[in-house]
Amino acid sequence: MGRLPLHGATVVDPHVHLCKYGREKQTFAQVADALLVSMREHHVAVSFVCPDSERGTSVADMETYLALAEGRSGLRVYGTAQLPGAEPELLGRLEALAREGAIIGLKLYPGFEPVYPSDPTCHALYELAQRYGLPVLLHSGETMGETWREKYNSPAETAALAARFPALSVIVAYFGQPHIAECREVLLAYENVYADVSGLADQGVMAACGTEAIASVLREVTLRRPEKVLFATDWPLCSVRDHMRLIESLNLSPGARELLLGGNAVRLFGL
């Protein structure tokens, strides 16, 4: 497969998983090595891996990710917790990891977990994240076809969280798809809200949201607020190449393109 001309931009992918999707016979270590191969192929300098908040699933847990990232330079790990994430033992572990610089941010899964992320029972997690300058990446939108769960990760929920914690950087995964128009509103209304483009180049997502609607929202937000949108792929669930093609199809200015591909992640996560 040929590579796309990235004109020397530093590419950061802040949303991937070490998951056995399509790789059921592989070990998690083999999946991690496959990610490194994919990163070399697509010139991705750093990937942030999102563990599952549950143990024993086909997406491994945080402790497994921390072990896998050791010795694999280019991988950084999110801390995670099942919402509301208020158990003192887990909070203590996350704090120790944050202090050591072993976690890059927090990845949370509202919707998969039936908890409103703005609920006060979750606040200890955000207080910790704020104390250590860790951005929070929020699962959003689709919840495996169970649309009743989407109320737990709606754009209104993101807005409530952003308003309550103005010093916390909140990143909406998947640009809130299928609610990309509402996500755009929240991005533009709250200084501390960002969104990643993971999943948007997926065929099913393009069909549901409209290819032109996705491109025009990304173009408009990137033009008005070039610091707001982050490249990301959701590898191995989605294609890195298709996501790079999506970015190239936007015909952004060189500066906006560099920010989107990596500059925004570098700044937000303090790389």
Task: Give the interface with Zn ion as residue ranges (CB under 5 A).
Answer: 234
Query: Who's near 197: CB < 8 A, 6+ residues apart?
Result: 175, 218, 229, 230, 231, 232, 243, 246, 247, 260
Nearer Cβ to Zn ion (173/186) = 173
DSSP 8-class letter at 214:
H
CB of 17 to Zn ion, least distance (A): 6
CB of 19 to Zn ion, least distance (A): 9
CB of 185 to Zn ion, least distance (A): 23
Give me the residue whose beta carbon is nearest to Zn ion. Answer: 234
Q: Is the peptide bond before 236 cis (omega within 30 degrees of 0)?
A: yes
Paired tokens of 86: 């208020």
Cα 26 from Cα 254, distance rounded (Å): 39
Nearer Cβ to Zn ion (225/241) = 241
Nearer Cβ to Zn ion (52/234) = 234
Nearest-5° Cα angle at 87, 150 to 91: 95
| One-letter identity of residue 129 | A
Helices (H), the chain: 28-42, 62-69, 88-100, 123-131, 155-164, 180-189, 203-209, 211-224, 240-249, 254-258, 264-268
Nearer Cβ to Zn ion (78/126) = 78
Query: Who's near 118: CB < 8 A, 6+ residues apart?
Result: 157, 160, 161, 164
Nearer Cβ to Zn ion (234/258) = 234
Nearer Cβ to Zn ion (135/226) = 135
CB of 107 to Zn ion, least distance (A): 8
CB of 50 to Zn ion, least distance (A): 6
CB of 15 to Zn ion, least distance (A): 6
Paired tokens of 70: 């050791």
